[in-house]
Amino acid sequence: MENKIEIYQGENGQTQIEVRFENETIWLTNSQLVELFKSSKANISEHIKHIFESEELDKDSTVRDFRTVQMEGKRAVERDRVHYNLDVIIAVGYRVNSKRGTQFRQWATQRLKDFLIQGYAINETRLSQKQQEVQTLKDGIRILSRAIEQKAIDQNLDWLNHFAKGLELLDDYDHENLDKKGLTKRQANYPELADYKEVIQSMKLDFESGVFGKEKDGSFESAIAQISKGFGDEDFYPTLEEKAATLLYLIVKNHGFVDGNKRIAAACFLLFLQSNDLLNNAEGSSIISNDALASLTLFIASSKPEEMDTVKKLVISVLNRNY
């Protein structure tokens, strides 16, 4: 085993430790621990004995025998030697009474402080960002709700008022209670690749860009193919709403085009809905407005990879409640 820990002073005078890892942890022998902490073999052995006797650590999970090669004269000899993992190394480091032990404790304590402070700061930032996003969404929907309700009063359009009340999905977003599954379980009608490309081609005249719709790689075709995949008889996306949400998400996030990824994603999303008779509800009204389509697409574009499930659930919820 070549793994080791080296303690030294950095240019700023602070204690620094270089750790060499293997198999997601490190293992040192008793002799290496003696060298690390500049202590005696008897002292290190006594600390390890107390660590296991007090059941601070479980011996079975922290001790391993590894075969090592040792030189005896000019002859290399393989022997099994006892090694201790990082948990034991840290436990010994907080016990041993030596200058090296003190340096180790200073280093470990500083790392713990850094982790706690930085981790807290990161979580605070993420929480603040989410709260700001939610508040922005609330404000926008509140304004939109008033406009819709007023229009409903002026024109006596009951369905608009009903739509305004349907904005309760914001509360579900706030409480992480969005719909996980779509409502429409039936055989999907998948547009051909040529159909999608025809839509993209028809959009080029509307945008002054010589590279609009120019593909960078095969990720666009991959996104289209993904929504029809499954394993055996199990469909990865069993409802049409889940397929549509996944298609919108993947085209936006794959960045398969030099220019126009969001616009193309939104258009392909609408094509899929139209091909599966989901673009309009039973009353013949579009289930998603221009503003909602733009908002959802931008919401996906600004989301982080770890937020994929949440943004897809939001799209599914919009489709579920408006159909």
Q: Is the pLDDT of residue 269 over 70?
A: yes
Cα 75–chain centre separation: 52
DSSP string, 76-125: EEEEEEEEEEHHHHHHHHTT--SHHHHHHHHHHHHHHHHHHHHHHHHHHH
Query: Could you read off the pLDDT of 289-320 as tens digits, one per residue?
Result: 888 888 888 888 888 888 888 889 888 888 88
Instruction: Take residue 57 and report the two structure tokens written for it.
Output: 């650590």
Task: Answer positive or negative: Cα dihedral of 259, 261, 266, 268.
Answer: positive
Instruction: Take residue 72 and report the two structure tokens written for it.
Output: 């005896």
SS (H, E, C) 157-186: CHHHHHHHHHHHHHHHHHCCCCCCCCCCCC
Beta bridge partners of 28: 84
Q: Give the CA angle between residues 117, 123, 128 to the nearest 5°.
A: 125
Can you give the residue ranges of every domain in the chain? 5-97, 181-322
CA distances from 289 to 144, 266, 279 (A): 12, 12, 10
What pLDDT, on the 0 to 100 scale, is given for residue 106? 78
Query: Could you read off the pLDDT of 150-189 as tens digits, one per residue?
Result: 554 555 545 444 444 445 666 666 667 778 888 899 999 9
Q: Residue 130 — φ and ψ, nearest 5°?
A: -65, -45
What pLDDT, on the 0 to 100 scale, is given for residue 262? 92
- Global pTM exceeds 0.75: no
Query: Could you read off the pLDDT of 117-156 as tens digits, one per residue?
Result: 666 555 666 666 666 666 666 655 555 555 545 554 555 5
Query: Could you read off the pLDDT of 7-53 as tens digits, one per residue?
Result: 656 555 665 556 555 555 678 888 888 888 888 999 999 999 999 99
What pLDDT, on the 0 to 100 scale, is given for residue 19? 57
Lowest average pLDDT, out of 63-77, 94-108, 113-127, 208-222, goes to: 113-127
Query: Could you read off the pLDDT of 91-115 as tens digits, one per residue?
Result: 888 888 888 888 888 777 777 666 6
Domain 181-322 has CATH 1.20.120.1870: yes
DSSP string, 45-81: HHHHHHHHHTTSS-HHHHEEEEEEEEEETTEEEEEEE
